[in-house]
Chain A
């Protein structure tokens, strides 16, 4: 079974110094390296900042393009991971170790293969 981990960043809990930011980066490196070596990792990467987002909607055949998601959202999607796990409990163990969980939140969703 595959699960997607949506890693949300909370600006109010973001790293406060460059050193802390660097430590977070290192923590992510170690985290994904461990996932790769255990065969849990499928794919995953950080995303560009929310300010780089563009949203597309098609309504009645008409295209609407807007800049960014809603600016007032407190948390924004900062990265994602797809992992292989046998149960939600296993996925929870991975999410718990995700460095992003300390700074924002990690949402777990099962992937439904079409």
Chain B
């Protein structure tokens, strides 16, 4: 066999199982950095040996065992500084050979450690920025540079952030495990939050020239699918998956030819991804079977209402009703704003304006969609100069270039 073919075969073996192998190694070593390093070492060993000695019959087992041995060697070599007892404990926890000597080499036959890794990466003891970065690194397999570019953070800063968070996990021994049942709802919510933040950062890039960064949306959706497959009985995970699929189904229609933002009501619904909406419908129906109302499930229900084929068919009363349930679950000025906007669409701009002006101003005053909604209502009832003033307030409150462009065009049109 020619060398390049064997290299491809080695690559494929490693790539197919990389996520799960890193997860397993991280759990037994309690150290993500070490897991990544020894997996790399196993890869180099495989490149050297497999073409020469023949491919192993059970490549996954071979990779795990080789990586484990590399870890043991490394820990033995680095016998300085940290105490020996600690080190011995680490080695004891390393995968016993029997674990990998199963008959079949199917990774599906092994418990999936990715779930434990997800909970470790999204642990509340880590700061949110680090959780996002680490999840993208270890679970989505993105490189440090890719993550830095996607999140618009300097490469060195991102590298530093990842080093620090991996070290904290190792030194404080964050558990690579699914939390106990009494802690699960809260911890699962933390995981969903991280995936949602990744998706949102991709969907509404908070700064920068382009409106969306699709790679982040894709990764968040993919991770959410993995989570849903690993925890099929969790309605909030399914709800979140449905929400991401509905939202992402509109991505092509959401940006105009010139890169500007196209509002939902003005979007060409023919450009929506129908197959993805159908997938979202299925996930949401599955979630609804559990008869538990969670915030992601409710948001997905709103997204489903918006996904009807014609803008005039949108049932705004139904949407307002779901926002009301959402507000009862987690009171927030933004949800109150959305409910007011929905009622406004059901009853017309005069009612909308009255509702908007009745909201407590505080936090909302810094939130650009609030001023955008006020401007829209004012313009519809012909109070043009006030509408322009509201759009200008909105303009001052967003850093996103595409959103700014959209607001400028609204101001120009109103004049």
Contacts and interface: CB of A to CB of B under 8 A. Distances in A.
A1 interface: yes
B247 to A, nearest CB: 33
Given A113-B85, A113-B86, A114-B83, A92 B125 contact: yes
Contacts of B175: 86-90
Contacts of A94: none
B86 A87 contact: no
A113 B171 contact: no
B174 A112 contact: no
A110 B174 contact: no
* Interface secondary structure of A, over-half rule: mixed
Given A91-B172, A113-B82, 14 more contacts: A1-B86, A86-B175, A87-B177, A88-B125, A88-B173, A88-B174, A88-B175, A89-B175, A89-B177, A89-B179, A89-B183, A110-B172, A112-B82, A113-B86
Interface residues of B, number: 14
A27 interface: no
Contacts, number: 34
Interface in B91-141: 123, 125
30 contacts: A1-B86, A1-B173, A3-B172, A86-B173, A86-B175, A87-B173, A87-B174, A87-B177, A88-B123, A88-B125, A88-B173, A88-B174, A88-B175, A89-B174, A89-B175, A89-B177, A89-B179, A89-B183, A90-B175, A91-B172, A92-B125, A108-B172, A110-B171, A110-B172, A110-B173, A112-B171, A113-B82, A113-B83, A113-B85, A114-B83
Shortest Cβ-Cβ A-B pairs, 4 listed? A87-B175, A113-B83, A88-B172, A89-B175
Interface string A71-102: 00000000000000011111110000000000
Interface residues of A, number: 14
Interface in A1-36: 1, 3
B215 to A, nearest CB: 31
Contacts of B172: 3, 88, 91, 108, 110
Contacts of B177: 87, 89
Contacts of A113: 82-83, 85-86
A1 B123 CA distance: 19
B134 to A, nearest CB: 15
A92 B123 CA distance: 12
Contacts of B179: 89
Nearest to A113: B83
A78 B325 CA distance: 44
Contacts of B83: 113-114
A29 to B, nearest CB: 25
A25 B82 CA distance: 37
A82 to B, nearest CB: 15
Nearest to A110: B172
